[in-house]
Each structure stands twice: as C-alpha cells, then as structure tokens.
Amino acid sequence: MTDQPIVRVLNVSRYFKRGTERVNVLNRLDLDVPEGQFLALMGPSGSGKTTLLNLIAGLDTPSEGEIWVGDRCVSKMNEAQLARWRNAHVGFVFQFYHLLPVLSAYENVELPLLLLPLTARKRREQVMTALELVGLKDRNSHLPSQLSGGQQQRVGIARAIVTDPTLIVADEPTGDLDAKSAHEILDLLNVLQRALNKTILMVTHDLRAARRADRIQHLDKGRLVDQPDEELYEAG
C-alpha cells in the first residue's frame, strides 16, 4: 500500500429532483483512498454509501465536484468512455451476485473479457487464473443455479478481478451470505488486497465485515463523519 491516493473525491455533491423538491444525497464530500487500501464505507440507510460507490465506479455522475481515479477524471467522462474505463479499471462485486443464469461460471467470468481485444486462448488463461484465485477452477462449467451463495459470490469476485482492474468496488458483498461464507469472501478480499495490491472499496452494514478493512469511513446524511453515532446503525 502507498500513501499516493488512487481515488480522489473532491467536493462532490449528488442531489436528485423529486418533483419540485431537491433531495441531497451527498453533500460537498471529500475523500482520498490510497492505492492498495481496503476501505469500508459504513453508515445508516440513506446515508449515501452506495451513491458514493456508484460515483467512484463511474455508474453515476456527481451533480457537483470531481472524482479522480488514478490520472483520470471519471466525473468528466461520457457514457461510452465510462463503459470502456469501467471494463478496464473497475471490478464490481454485487450483494446479490448478479450472475447471468444461462451462463456457466466460466462464461460469467469471461464476460468482461469479451470486450477486450484478446484471443480465445488468452481469455481462457485469464478466466482460469481468476477462478483458481477464488478456488472454483473445478466448478467452471457449473451454472449459477448449481452453486451455493458463497460460491456464486466467489464467481462474482472472479468476474470482478478477471480484467486485473485498478479498483474493486463491493456493495455489501456479504449481505446475502451466512456467517461462514461471509468470512470466506472477506478472506478472499483480504488476499486480493494483500497479494495483488488491489484497492478495495466496500459498502457494508456489518461492523464485523468492516473491521476486516484497513480503514472504516462512516457516512451520515451525505457527509463523512469521524465518530459514528451508535444509534445510527441500529436502524441499518
């Protein structure tokens, strides 16, 4: 891990219009994430965690402010540029895995590689490496329906890392798993961070999961807060 920030969130606000009303989800927020850091974002429901994650991953654009990832200003890119950038630089892990049910584990992991100019052989190498990393090489031909929740999430992680992205964003990756599977997934994220020096941003409600990160950042009402009010989490 270096001190050089790979993610820089500069004075970012995000608001939505609901009729004539303006709803502020993020409020002039600043955040730096050093390269190779595992950051957990915590906060009560409605605090803006997922919105912040979506903005950093280039799935949404801020109403105000700038977001830089590496030397690229993500908030200034158009939709096509963002799609290309996400494909090469961001791995996304969902709470509910979101694997395509008609594709095998192998094919799900291969999906992001279809967009890159790689030979079939090179794709195969990368897919098998990713599946080996998550311990599912021998299950590569299984459909998602033939895998447990934990295994599906590991396929989701393999899909997220198969392009060797700069950044892995995980939105409550253990939220749908039992304790044992959640533990295994967090172990895996730790391995990715330490062995491959991946920068990981994880949104979670689970304090035990958050404690596996290098740093925990709390959000409340669209702002970063230093000390969370314990009551905030009771609702979440």
Partner 1 sequence: MKFLMLILKNLRRNILRSALTSAGVMVLVFVITLIWSILGFLDTVTSEKTSNFKGIVTEKWSIPSQMPFSYADTLENGAAREDTDIKPMDSMTWQFFIGTTEKGKGFSLKTFVFAFCMEPKKLLTMMDELDSLAPSPKAELEKAVEAMEQNRQGIIIGQKRLAALEKRVGDRIKIFGVNYRDLELECEIVGTFPLGRYDNNSCINRDYLNASLDAYKASQGKPHPLANKTMNLVWVKVPDRDSFAQVSNQIDNSPMFTTPPVKIETASSGVANFLAAYKDLLTILRWALAPSIIATLAVVISNAISISVRERRKEMAVLKVLGFQPNQIMFLVLGEAILLGVVAGSISSIGTYFLVNRVMGGIPFPIAFFSSFPVLDGALWWGAAIGFATSFAGSILPALSTRSIKVVDVFSKVA
Contact set with partner 1 (CB under 8 A):
43, 45-54, 57, 59-60, 79-80, 83-84, 86-88, 92, 94, 98, 100-103, 107, 111-112, 114-115, 159, 171, 203
Q: Are 232 and 61 in contact (CB under 8 A)?
A: no
| CB 177, min distance to partner 1, A | 17
CA dihedral 158, 160, 95, 102 (to 10 degrees): -70
| CB 199, min distance to partner 1, A | 18
| CB 44, min distance to partner 1, A | 9
Angle of the 149-161 helix axis to the 179-196 helix axis, nearest 10: 20
Residue placing its CB nearer to partner 1 in the complex, 102 or 179: 102
Residue placing its CB nearer to partner 1 in the complex, 8 or 14: 14
Residue placing its CB nearer to partner 1 in the complex, 68 or 94: 94
Residue placing its CB nearer to partner 1 in the complex, 37 or 51: 51
DSSP-derived 3-state class of residue 68: strand
| CB 85, min distance to partner 1, A | 8
